[in-house]
Amino acid sequence: MKKKITILGGLLVLQAFLILAISFRSEGLQSHQGMQALLDFNREQVDRILVADGEQRSELKRSGDSWTTAEGFPVEADRVDRLLDRLKELQHGLAVAQTEASLKRFKLSDDEFERRVELYADGKEVASLTLGSGAGARRSHVRAGDGKEIYAVALGSYDLPADIAQWQDKTLLQLEADQVAAVRIGDLTVRKEAVTAEPAGAYEGEEASSEVEPETTWVAEGLTESESFELDNFESDLDRLLSMRYTRAYPAEEAADLVDGKDAMNHIHLQLRDGKQPQGISERTYQVYKAKEGGGHFVTVSDREEWFEVSAYLGGRLGEQLVADKLVKVNEATAEDTATSAEEEGASESAVEEDSAGSETANHGADEANADES
């Protein structure tokens, strides 16, 4: 009897474990099968995107293989691709809520929301998403289209900037150093030249190497013996110019009221190398202006119509440091030595002239005396 009870007890425990295992497996499958794509659209067909936050709105358009703003300004294409990929990969499980009152509570109503993105293809809306309050780390409450079902998904408001400046291509003005052949700043011209270094010395019993690769360096033209060129400062600030990332691009008509006066602080002219000229331009001129407020600066370039806002630090370097007066230094000792040498040379020449004049006078007097004796 006891043996039967023990067997039945063991079977009961085994049955309990089997039921529990099946339950966990069923819940796992149900959870997995419950995850569905939140938005259904063909990302390759999307040609227009609208992003709004209630106050601002960004409109992006596909132009061939690239993207631009509604006004045709270049957009950072990689960021657009990342956004479309992110939206396409969004999945949801069970709805958090689905009542009209919940839309207000989670900031997902038509009147109050954090972000709204609309995707279009051939003029028709193919998907839309409204983003509301946060749902944890890097997660937000959302609803798709006009539906009232509210889901929690891995998406943040930072993924959907409504400020058009955050979509603008900040690398638009960048150039490589080897694209520049010469730089002119006021009366100063700096040209890139190839300089052959001295052959490397050899150890005893070895021959000195005669094959030395020429190096390129920047050389300032027309300097006197008493003037020296601040090469390190020039290269540092030129690199800042060539790798410039602006803060925001403004249409020319809007920027006119943002600058302090009409006169530029500095003019920087670049001559570009043949064969390495972007977009067919052979030269580019930058003008640096002070902003009317905030201590910032604006930069214009000759091959673009827009005005580019830059930081106070970058604008200060380009407007006040990348200038001839700061790049050419006068060696006072050398200048004094040169002036002294010039004075001594002038005094010597005067003495020679006086001696010559005295000799001529003496010779003339002797000639007159000889004439009287005769």
Domain ranges, ordered by start, for the chain: 37-166, 177-196+214-328
| Structure letter (DSSP) for residue 41 | -
* Residue 32 scores a pLDDT above 70: no
- Which of 186 and 367 is assigned the larger pLDDT? 186
Average pLDDT over residues 281-298: 93
Is pLDDT at 208 greater than 70 in this prediction?
A: no
Helix (H) or strand (E) segment spanning residue 366: helix 332-373
137: Cα within 13 Å, side-chain hemisphere: 0
Give pLDDT, residue 274.
83
Q: With cut-offs at 50, 70 and 90, classify the pLDDT of residue 360.
A: low
How confident is residue 199, by pLDDT bands cut at 50, 70 and 90? low
**pTM of the predicted model as reported, rounded to 2 decimal places:** 0.75
Confidence class of residue 215 from pLDDT cuts 50, 70 and 90? Answer: confident
Amino acid of residue 81: D
pLDDT by residue (tens digit) across 48-84?
A: 999 999 899 999 999 888 999 999 999 999 999 999 9
* CA distances in angstroms from 233 to 300, 318, 321, 328, listed in the order given: 22, 11, 8, 10
- Tens digit of pLDDT for each residue in 112-141? 999 999 999 999 999 999 999 999 888 999
Mean pLDDT, rounded, of the chain: 83
Is residue 331's pLDDT more than 80?
A: yes
Q: How many CA atoms lie within 13 A of 359 on its CB side?
A: 6
Q: What is the pLDDT of residue 116?
A: 97
